[in-house]
Structure 1
Amino acid sequence: MTKRWIILTGTALSLSLAACGTPGEASGGGDDGGSEDPFQVGLVYSKSGPLAPYGAQYKAAFDVGLDYATDGTGEVDGREIEISEKDDAGDPSKAVSAATTLIGQGSDIIAGSTSSGVALQVAPLAKDNETLFISGPAATDGVTGLNEYTFRSGRQTYQDVATAGTMLGDVDGKKVTVLAQDSAFGTANIDAVKGVLGEKGAEVTAIEAPAAAKDFTPFATKIKSQSPDLLFVAWAGENATSMWGTLSQQGVFDTTKVVTGLDIKATHSLFGEAGTKIDFLSHFFKGAADNEAYTALSSGLEENGEEVDLFSNDGFVAAQMIVQALKEGEGDTNAMIDALEGWTFEGPKGEMEIRAEDHAVLQPMFTVSLEKDGEEFVPVLGETVDPADVAPPVSEFE
């Protein structure tokens, strides 16, 4: 249920753009009356493609966040923020092409990557053209510390896995089993658990099952034979309900703590009756926090017929970061970087900090349970995990 952790790989494309003007300088206006010209911001995200639901949540919350951060004006110091959108459909090559066009047209900032593969391709482009880039829901750890021009508005995989680890307390010497698909998606999650919990002393083993498996009984039996203290499940697909049902029927929940990531609301029913037995880690969900920014996000989305979901925070925070960068840096790339590095602010999740050393976003994370409410499963907050307890190690800029 953690499709958002899929890390796509590819050769980074490095393109230089003569049309962008002098690197590091504001590109929004000319010599005459430049201070009155709009700031140009390009959003390149998944309006279509497999991650379109994530992209839609990001964009809806971005609009609300921009309204909140500019006090309803859509302006910074009297200058309009002009947003240009392009759909990458989750395709890195389309994203690079779109970002290339937007930078050439004078965008001061590029934001919005929904897919990890997209973020990893756009970031080198931003560096080559000295353009500020704020990645969105893309969770790959590789974005953090990639280069000084690249930021992110959401969490990263390390924080997800570290949140799972908090459910065990001290993981040193504990047995952790990962049940994952035998695919790149599964491998990425296995590596993440080994890299985070294994480094903290946990004994991590992996059980890989075919992505199209129909009978999960052998895998449930193997899990029980290992008697892990924690079972971390990384699964996405139409057979997820069958997989969870088998784990429940075979008594896995009776012998170990079972943890997975809570995906978007539309997927909650896929857990079936096993949903109430699972311990979930969560980046964000409806009801996760109670502060001014969350209230503004929730009410703003409701006015537009939307509701808070997994990636709403990422869109809202991206807008906050863009306004902060433009307000302090006035479109000058180096000044905008300085404005964001070390910045602390209140986002919908709570207190946020952009770590100056590598641009990781230090933020609260959550543990969650699902409760049955009629025909629906409703997330209920367990613990709010302190940012320091799930902070990723510092990554040096490349």
Structure 2
Amino acid sequence: MQTRRFGRIGLVSVLSASLLMASACGNSTETGGKETGGKETKTPIKIGVVTSKTGPLEAYGKQELNGLKLGIKYATGGTNEVLGRKIEIIEEDDQFKPEEGKNKARKLLEEDKVDILQGTASSPVALAITDLAKENKKIFMIDPATADDLTGAQFHKYVFRTGRNTGQDWAAGAKYAVENLGKTFYHIAPDNAFGKSSAAAARAAIEKLGGQIVKEDFAPATTQDFTPYLQRAIQSNAKVLLITWAGATPLFKQINELGVYQKMTVYTGIPDLAGIKSMGDGAEGMVGFNTYHYTLPKTKENDWLVENHKKEYGTVPDLFTAGGFAAGIAIVEGIKKAGSTDGDKIAAALEGFKFRAAKGEYTFRKEDHQALQPMYIVKLKKKDGELVPELIKELSPEETAPPITVK
């Protein structure tokens, strides 16, 4: 990524002229000095991104950032301007550490004076950051972190999430699993906020439908040997093994090597492209729920995203690119609608707001600012020697609406 320094500590990632070209959409009274020849210049709108640029979720952070930049390009018609002001993105690496993420967010808010926060790949990091957004009255546009508490127990007016939460995952996945795969479930998940949130959502959804969770088995997020967890799952006699995991992991490779696919049904959220590849040939025919694969949505917005992602990055968009894309669009549209970068005004503009992105229509639910959106049930099939998801059913935003858990 091209970076340059902008008179402040930290790397400022400036969207390139080829990426950003679009229309000025209004007037701003904020100015930043004089250009050569005495012209008055307007201060840029600064978006501070905290996400994983290193560590186990590095790939997710990259997908998020690529999508964010393309979403801004799409929403501004290519100019990288809104209200007549340029948009700058300042990127910070949370290193998959909550305290590091919190420190980086504080730096963005206090030193770089960003107008909006966006992130993060990690739910524990997002949970560490969210109160800073509230204290500073800045919008925190969340993607792809999924912990329910972000739009639940820790909800505040400045939080909006374009990514799905774990409640949506299981609203999408539980009904199909109970009706088609079995009634008893063993759940392996990471021992962190993301894993605990997913396990709680899965239990609530599955038990409501008459299924039973035999055991929730939480493994450290750094686990490399899943043999004891998989052996316990096989010995439990549960019909279905539920998997919640994030980031690069040998888990699916070990599922294949231990023959788990032949001993019980494995059901999970279908991961990113690298994750699908790591599942091995034994995963052919496996059914799961999915938030995005570039072949699934049949929308003009997705066509644009796929085409432009190939042009900019030389590859197709991945699992969390669409959420970043939606975040970029929502940020621009929120600023346009508010006519301001003021957090209170943008929050008022976005509450209940409907907009279109790669998967179709998104709606920021008024009660918790969670974006309701389509989800997918898919089956992994071999195509040209590679596993790809084949659509079984597209679920509407209403079908996948998660419980409202705001306290």
Q: What is the TM-score with the length of structure 2 in the denominator? A: 0.81
Distance in 2 between the 1:140 and 1:95 partners?
A: 16
- Structure 2 counterpart of 1:144, from 146, 151, 155: 151
TM-superposed deviation, 1:200 = 4.2
Comparing 114-123 with 74-83, greater Cα deviation is found at: 74-83
1:343 to 2:353 alignment: yes
2:149 counterpart letter in structure 1: G
Comparing 177-186 with 42-51, greater Cα deviation is found at: 177-186
Contact kept, 8 Å, 2:46 with 2:115, in 1: the verdict is yes
2:46 counterpart letter in structure 1: Q
Comparing 351-360 with 74-83, greater Cα deviation is found at: 74-83
RMSD: 2.8
Residue in 2 aligned with 1:354?
364
1:282 to 2:295 alignment: no
How high is the sequence identity, in percent, across the aligned residues?
31
How many residues get paired? 362
Residue in 1 aligned with 2:250?
238
Residue in 2 aligned with 1:9?
none
Matches within 5 A, 1:1-398: 29=30, 36-104=42-110, 105-145=112-152, 146-168=155-177, 175-180=183-188, 183-184=191-192, 188-206=197-215, 208=217, 212-214=225-227, 218-219=231-232, 221-223=234-236, 225-226=237-238, 228=239, 230-234=240-244, 237-248=249-260, 250-253=262-265, 258-304=266-312, 305-329=314-338, 330-396=340-406
1:83 counterpart letter in structure 2: I
Distance in 2 between the 1:307 and 1:168 partners?
A: 29
1:71 counterpart letter in structure 2: G
SS at match of 2:279: helix
SS at match of 1:178: strand
Contact kept, 8 Å, 1:28 with 1:107, in 2: the verdict is no
SS at match of 1:82: strand
Q: What is the TM-score with the length of structure 1 in the denominator? A: 0.82
Distance in 1 between the 2:131 and 2:191 partners?
A: 27
Distance in 2 between the 1:31 and 1:269 partners?
A: 49
Return closer, same or farther for 1:60/1:73 CA change in 2, 3 Å cut-off.
same
1:132 counterpart letter in structure 2: I
Distance in 2 between the 1:98 and 1:217 partners?
A: 37
Distance in 2 between the 1:140 and 1:319 partners?
A: 21
Runs (5+) with no aligned partner, structure 2: 1-27, 35-39
Contact kept, 8 Å, 2:178 with 2:209, in 1: the verdict is no
Return closer, same or farther for 1:252/1:299 CA change in 2, 3 Å cut-off.
same
